[in-house]
Structure 1
Amino acid sequence: MLTIQPDRLDLQPGDRVLDLGCGRGRHVYALYWGETPVHVVGADLSESEVHATANGFFELPPPPESPDRSASLTAADAAKLPFTDGSFDAVICSEVLEHVPDPQAALAEIVRVTRPGGQVALSVPRWWPEKICWSLSPEYSQTPGGHVRIFRERQLRDAAERTGLAIDARHWAHALHSPYWWLQCALWRNRDSSRRVALYRRFLEWDLLKRPLLTRVLEALLNPVMGKSLVLYFTRPAA
């Protein structure tokens, strides 16, 4: 399930791409197995998530061989990245900034490691669906490692532009996931045993595997209205 769309990044063979806050590797895998061969680096603060992503490579068939294709993983703090200036042609940071103590510091590091003329893609939970989650369950935002802030679109865009990035495009994603999280928050203390939560989870898993036309069209229509994630694309100006 991708939130950021790699084909919007105009990647070229051999480009270096950083997935910052890679989690369990969904964007790392998409980039590594993508049609355009790139050198992808996945970085996450959690060493257990990095190990889980590494193990996932052995569960999938190898991609077509190419000298322009590779993948590597590392544990890293978003506010202190272990990469030199301008190391990457593109950086993606999906569903991370709502977790970090200092998002402006993380954005400054993202820009630092992006080459002039390179691209940056950011995604965070959309403000109003996320606000409903916080309203339905005080515990939702207090979960260890959970969300510590809610971004409005203008707030995230201003924060990125203060680091020198220039906005290119935006879209929303995962509209069908918004009701799932509202249901979880409404039943927070019993969510693990709730039949309704389990049924909705199975529906989302079925949709992810089968991707039927009906739900694809439905989500495309609903994303501008109730998409769970906001996605913004930027360029670091060459000058």
Structure 2
Amino acid sequence: MLTVDFTRFPLAAGDRVLDLGCGAGRHAFECYRRGARVVALDRNGAEIREVAKWFAAMEEAGEAPAGATATAMEGDALALPFPDDSFDVVIISEVMEHIPDDKGVLAEMVRVLRPGGRIAVTVPRYGPERICWALSDAYHEVEGGHIRIYRADGLLRKMREAGLKPYGSHHAHALHSPYWWLKCAFGVDNERALPVKAYHKLLVWDIMKKPLATRTVERALNPLIGKSFVAYATKPHTPKAGV
């Protein structure tokens, strides 16, 4: 299930891509399939080891084109182990709401992104997220949980302050908002509640089958209750001194 829309965020074969806070690796895998040279980085060592295994399996199965590369590594988003201007593309999906120093993370992403490079940032959308917080303290008051709720204009302002030039945005995953509202209402860790189980079954079916009916419904609902806000930006070229 991708949050970044690659029709709005073009990716070319050979692009150097950093998936920052990659988690289970969904965006990293897609970039690898598209022929990119991918680095998937996360602070969670267990997840990184799983991502590395999937990269190896994809290579063995021939899922990535010739020239594509993939590396999974453990690291700190506030101290990236890469030189300036290392990447053509940076993706950070559903990560910044967890990090106290989000301005520091943006600064590091801008540092390692080459001038003219592209960045995609996704965070939980303000409205659906406010409902989750109102329904359940356990949803966000946990170690490593969400520590802030972004308004779209606030995130875009922080991106501009970091030196980026936003060029587009949208909302995604409308069908997932009711699921999280149900989980918050019945208990975040309560997987036995019938409404939660039934809705989860629907989501799994939708993800696996991608039927036209639910895809159409979600596209219609995304502007209203999309769970994620997605913003795209470029890093402008800096004029040379004396020019």
Q: TM-score, normalised by structure 2?
A: 0.94
How many pairs were matched up?
A: 236
Structure 2 residue 161 is the aligned partner of structure 1 residue 162: yes
Structure 1 outlier segments of 4+, above 4 Å: none
- Report the 3-state secondary structure (helix = DSSP H, G, I; strand = E; otherwise coil) of the residue aligned with 2:47: helix
CA drift of 1:190 comes to 6.0
Structure 2 residue 151 is the aligned partner of structure 1 residue 152: yes
Q: Is the 8 A contact 1:119 1:235 kept in 2?
A: yes
Q: Is the 8 A contact 1:6 1:31 kept in 2?
A: no
Q: Is the 8 A contact 2:38 2:70 kept in 1?
A: yes
> C-alpha separation between the residues in 2 aligned to 1:185 and 1:64?
39
Post-superposition Cα deviations, 1:130-180, rounded to whole Å, max 9, x if no partner, equal: 000000001111122211110001111111100110011001000000000
| Residue 43 of structure 1: aligned partner | 41
| Residue 20 of structure 2: aligned partner | 20
CA drift of 1:11 comes to 2.2
Percent identity, aligned pairs only? 47
Q: Mean Cα displacement is larger for which, 46-55 or 229-238?
A: 46-55
| Residue 5 of structure 2: aligned partner | 5
| Residue 140 of structure 1: aligned partner | 139
Q: TM-score, normalised by structure 1?
A: 0.95
> C-alpha separation between the residues in 1 aligned to 2:64 and 2:77?
31
> C-alpha separation between the residues in 2 aligned to 1:148 and 1:44?
18
Amino acid at match of 1:141: H
Give the gaps of 5 or more residues in structure 2.
Answer: 239-243
| Residue 127 of structure 1: aligned partner | 126
Amino acid at match of 1:10: P
| Residue 236 of structure 1: aligned partner | 235
Q: Is the 8 A contact 1:41 1:71 kept in 2?
A: yes
| Residue 32 of structure 1: aligned partner | 32
- Report the 3-state secondary structure (helix = DSSP H, G, I; strand = E; otherwise coil) of the residue aligned with 2:230: strand
CA drift of 1:59 comes to 4.9
Q: Is the 8 A contact 2:11 2:31 kept in 1?
A: no
| Residue 221 of structure 1: aligned partner | 220
Give the gaps of 5 or more residues in structure 1.
Answer: none
> C-alpha separation between the residues in 2 aligned to 1:173 and 1:233?
13
